[in-house]
Structure 1
Amino acid sequence: YLCILLPFSLNKSFISPKPIHKSYFIFLTSLFYICLLFTKSKSGLAAVAISLGIYFLIYCLNLFKLHRSFKSFAKAAISPFLLIFTFIIFSLTISNPIKDILFSPPAQTTQLSADPTINITPSEDIRKIVWSGALKLWQKYPVFGTGPETFAYTYYSVRPASHNLTSEWEFLYNKVHNEYLNYLANTGTLGFLSYLLLIFSSIYLFISRRRWELLAAYLSVLVTNFAGFSVVAVSLFFFLLPALCLNPPLSPPPAKLRWLLLTLTLIFSFYAIKLIFSFFLADIALAQSDQEDNQNQYVKSYQYLLKCYQLNPHEPVYLSRLSILSAKLSASYFLEKDPSSASKFATNSIEFSDLALTISPLNINFLKERTQALTYLATIDNQYYSQAIATLRQTALLAPTDAKTFYLLAKFYNAINDFQNTEINYLKAIELKPNYDHAYFDLGLLYFNQKNTIWLKNTLN
């Protein structure tokens, strides 16, 4: 966002005729740049270096054409060069990635870095793994992709096993962290080429209209999108910047058409506000439900979740959460010797989970949450173990490289005394994640109980 604003304030500082206005915009530009340095964003600083570098180059070339003589040009170019010098001073005095590259900071030993068991993977290494997964998705669905905003569900099917060796191996990735690969995976070649057509058309528009500040702002979006993804503000500017370059209509539409458009806009706006307000109220109720759940107040938590469901009955997240909470209530009533209520909430739990998976059948999180609900229900009846195993086997088909799924499968097989499948799944989890300490330890316990001393020693070592 700061990268987009910087060219505007910079351009204003150059073209403002009054000294007071010029001083104000120079101050604003400096403030934006200082804020950007404090973010320590590598992609943001790279975007500013490229976009402002191009802007300064074009500005100086135009300035030289205007003044012709070098002496006259040098006098006119004092302001931009002073600003560049100021940026350099800020970059060398405030802690940021540029300063760290030029002057390597002294190694600091903290409690975290001193502990060899803590693995914190650099974000750029994780991005490379996720990017390779996005390319595999495009290779599987080259024409239309997997569908808009489906990466969170489809990435598991091609997720490289090397992701298990990172510090974020259990995180859900709903974005590629590269907007271009995001379009390529979600919309295929057709969507990606359309996206590129829009980009090059916009750049052509900026150049033909000589709107260099808009070009610089737009280029900063393109650079930051390479190492991240468009949030709401950035997406808005991606489409708004080309619109700012267009000329307004010469004459307004007829009065009758204006009233029609105004009426339709008001109707749509009121409906959208009502919808957004429903989401807002449901979100508040969800937070209240979580708070009560953390305090083991399951009845109150369940009531808040029902409110969420009533406000937005088509949201599978609420249904999946209701499934878990119903299972908790079922187990609680079973301990209180109330079999009727326990049976009722057990049925509710399965029905809520079925509804969530009907709406979103490929959602790995909902399958894992169904397994969690079945774990609570298994304290009432052991038959739920077999359902949990079936759910995890379905999860393993959708996420064949997810080590946690095979680890949980082994735990459930162990609970029903199927030790052969227990060993197979522990070994599969270790194959996918060679540093999986929990899997090694539990496999060691299995060998200990089986008095298999040879494999026990190897596993624990």
Structure 2
Amino acid sequence: MGFVIWTLTAALFFLVLLFTRSRSGLLGFAVADLVFWGLVLFGSSRLPKQNQGTALKRVGVPFFLLHFSFFLIVFLNGTHIDAVDRWATLGAWKSRLSSTAQPADHSAVTNEATASGYVAPLLESGGTESGKIRRYVWQGAISAWRSSTKTMLIGTGTETFAFAFYQFKPKGHNLTSEWDFLYNKAHNEYLNYLTTTGVLGLGSYLLFFGSFVLWFVKVQMSKLKAQSNVKAQSSKNSLDFGFDWKFDIWILELSLFAAWLSILVTNFFGFSVVVTQLFLFLFPAIIIAGNIRSDQHAVLVSLPFLASTHKRRIAAFIVMVAGLVIATRIGLLWYADTLFASGYRASRIDSYVQAADNIERAIALNPGEPLYYDEAGSALAGLAILAIEQKDATGAAAFIKQSVRASDTAITISPNNVNFWKTRTKIYYTFSAFDGAFNDAAIEALEHAQKLSPADPKIPYNLAILTGRNGQNDRSIELLKHTIDLKQNYRDAYYALWVFYKEIKKPELGRAILADYLTKVDPADKDFQERMNE
């Protein structure tokens, strides 16, 4: 009964894996499955002939039942990978057999293809294929790592990939469906190590991986060699591998090793999370701890200052107090985050009083978090606008100062966070409606953001709008041309460029821009077609 329950559980987990549509997860499973059963069969074949039959019998039935259930799930549900589903699913074979029985109407297909020669942009027809997006992210990661000798050796700094990628983002990434996403990881754990910790950081991980694999192979080979010198076992449930090891424990070791390898595979196409990172070190630790022989003694560390009972009690009290302090601090940080989240949501529905209050309380609990100050600046800017609308000049002036001060603090703590500079731009832009001097400050902030993220098309686009408000139409036009160069399908930039050309009395150039968009991006844009005739 227990075996049936575990088999059904394994089948359920495999089905859940398919529902995630994670190709890296499926590949990791395939590698772990191949390694585990390969090692089991190899190890069983190296046993004495008297024990081979027992070992193969114990693993043969689970192997067959598990893989039959996996095949059945794939056959009925599919893997959501076209290359696999085309040959391994019931639906695909039904379609293939029905198409064989009925001749295809090739003329209809030809006519349809001719009538619809335009292929919709990816943003209209669906998201960009993840592999293409990953290639751009990996390209940016490598460019960031190669940016200087320092970064090649020690990287850009731990957990700084989001900042580094902005500076070296490939222009081609702007043509994907995730062109304006924030990437705080490289979607490849090893490239993430390389970018943020350099050769030294990645090398330490690779040294750990290689050392453990070599150690594991050496231990397993020594066990199999020891087993060849052991007489045939009379009990089918007890196969002695020397060192007091049993067959079930050996299987557990192989399963943990295969599971550990699956993490290495999935990390190549993604990034680690807390649980997988724990397993990355915990699985080897379990295997190593389990291989400590009974004749090996643990290393004992003597602590003479804890010899007396009184001193041990004092030490225990100190540890308890320290633990309580740490737990309290963690609890306060968590509570600060909940306050911030509440304030963030309130700000999004224009409840600026509640937002400012909650964020202020969050800052009091965790004054070193720049994100709190950044959001506080936005909330206070909203309060300043409300005060202006209520004709409260004194209150508005106070809120403006507080808003700018909060933005200053966020940038002081984290000067290379491009999003903070964008927030600063929005704050100044908001105030520029009442004081034109803030428009220049907004331009200055956005120009700094452009230095941090030179391939972001939104930055030159917004710079064009801001400089246009100052009457610098020629510069706005150049900025919009640069925007289109960064992102050739950016509709808003084409439209803005058309507006500016009309502004400077050059409508023919504006029509040429619209025609360029209709030719290269979307021939079916009716709005642009109508404006062509204006």
Q: TM-score, normalised by structure 2?
A: 0.77
Match of 1:90 among 63, 73, 76: 73
SS at match of 1:226: helix
CA distance in 1, matches of 2:255, 2:135: 32
Match of 1:246 among 263, 277, 288: 288
SS at match of 1:435: coil
The answer for the alignment partner of 1:124 in structure 2 is 131
**Comparing 93-102 with 276-285, which one deviates more in the overlay?**
93-102
Match of 1:137 among 118, 136, 144: 144
The answer for the alignment partner of 1:440 in structure 2 is 494
* Contact 1:374-1:388 at 8 Å conserved across structures: yes
> Is 1:204 matched with 2:258?
no
Specify whether residues 47 and 360 from structure 1 end up closer, same or farther in structure 2 by C-alpha distance, changes over 3 A only. same
Shift of 1:115: 6.2
Specify whether residues 103 and 268 from structure 1 end up closer, same or farther in structure 2 by C-alpha distance, changes over 3 A only. farther
Alignment deviations for residues 33-73 of structure 1 (CA, whole Å, 9 cap, x no partner): 22212222111111111111111011112223336388777
CA distance in 2, matches of 1:294, 1:50: 45
The answer for the alignment partner of 1:3 in structure 2 is none
* Contact 1:331-1:379 at 8 Å conserved across structures: no
> Is 1:401 matched with 2:443?
no
* Contact 1:38-1:94 at 8 Å conserved across structures: no
Q: How does 1:366-445 map to 2 (within 5 A)?
A: 366-445=420-499
* Contact 2:142-2:195 at 8 Å conserved across structures: yes
Match of 2:203 among 193, 196, 199: 193
CA distance in 1, matches of 2:173, 2:269: 18
Shift of 1:286: 2.0
SS at match of 1:142: helix
Shift of 1:263: 5.2
CA distance in 1, matches of 2:496, 2:508: 16
CA distance in 2, matches of 1:223, 1:63: 26
Aligned length: 437
> Is 1:221 matched with 2:263?
yes
Match of 1:334 among 364, 374, 388: 388
The answer for the alignment partner of 1:38 in structure 2 is 19
% identical equivalent positions = 33
> Is 1:101 matched with 2:149?
no
Match of 1:324 among 375, 378, 381: 378
Shift of 1:445: 0.7
* Contact 1:41-1:97 at 8 Å conserved across structures: no
Shift of 1:398: 1.2
Shift of 1:27: 2.9
The answer for the alignment partner of 1:78 in structure 2 is 61
CA distance in 2, matches of 1:209, 1:275: 44
**Letter of the structure 2 residue corresponding to residue 250 of structure 1:** A
Specify whether residues 37 and 351 from structure 1 end up closer, same or farther in structure 2 by C-alpha distance, changes over 3 A only. same
* Contact 2:79-2:85 at 8 Å conserved across structures: no
* Contact 2:190-2:202 at 8 Å conserved across structures: yes
CA distance in 2, matches of 1:152, 1:297: 30
Shift of 1:378: 1.1
> Is 1:237 matched with 2:279?
yes
CA distance in 2, matches of 1:127, 1:218: 23
CA distance in 2, matches of 1:121, 1:198: 36
Specify whether residues 396 and 45 from structure 1 end up closer, same or farther in structure 2 by C-alpha distance, changes over 3 A only. same
CA distance in 2, matches of 1:323, 1:191: 37
CA distance in 1, matches of 2:219, 2:17: 29
> Is 1:172 matched with 2:179?
no
CA distance in 2, matches of 1:74, 1:246: 26
Alignment deviations for residues 2-30 of structure 1 (CA, whole Å, 9 cap, x no partner): xxxxxxxxxxxxxxxxxx44333333322
Alignment deviations for residues 188-238 of structure 1 (CA, whole Å, 9 cap, x no partner): 111111110111122233334433222101100100000000000001111
SS at match of 2:268: coil
* Contact 1:308-1:318 at 8 Å conserved across structures: yes
Q: Which has the larger radius of gyration?
A: 2
Specify whether residues 162 and 260 from structure 1 end up closer, same or farther in structure 2 by C-alpha distance, changes over 3 A only. farther
* Contact 2:256-2:283 at 8 Å conserved across structures: yes
> Is 1:290 matched with 2:297?
no
* Contact 2:340-2:362 at 8 Å conserved across structures: yes
SS at match of 2:342: helix
Specify whether residues 404 and 24 from structure 1 end up closer, same or farther in structure 2 by C-alpha distance, changes over 3 A only. same
Specify whether residues 324 and 74 from structure 1 end up closer, same or farther in structure 2 by C-alpha distance, changes over 3 A only. closer
CA distance in 2, matches of 1:120, 1:39: 17
Alignment deviations for residues 413-437 of structure 1 (CA, whole Å, 9 cap, x no partner): 0111111211111111111111110
* Contact 1:184-1:191 at 8 Å conserved across structures: yes
* Contact 1:410-1:426 at 8 Å conserved across structures: yes
* Contact 1:40-1:96 at 8 Å conserved across structures: yes
**Letter of the structure 1 residue corresponding to residue 140 of structure 2:** G
* Contact 1:209-1:245 at 8 Å conserved across structures: no
Q: CA RMSD in A?
A: 2.5
Alignment deviations for residues 368-402 of structure 1 (CA, whole Å, 9 cap, x no partner): 01111111111221100001100111111111111
**Comparing 428-437 with 55-64, which one deviates more in the overlay?**
55-64
> Is 1:155 matched with 2:155?
no
CA distance in 2, matches of 1:203, 1:246: 12
Specify whether residues 122 and 260 from structure 1 end up closer, same or farther in structure 2 by C-alpha distance, changes over 3 A only. farther
The answer for the alignment partner of 1:9 in structure 2 is none
CA distance in 2, matches of 1:242, 1:55: 15
Q: How does 1:47-58 map to 2 (within 5 A)?
A: 47-58=28-39
Please, which runs of 5 or more residues in structure 1 have no aligned partner? 1-19, 108-112
* Contact 2:153-2:200 at 8 Å conserved across structures: yes
CA distance in 1, matches of 2:55, 2:346: 69
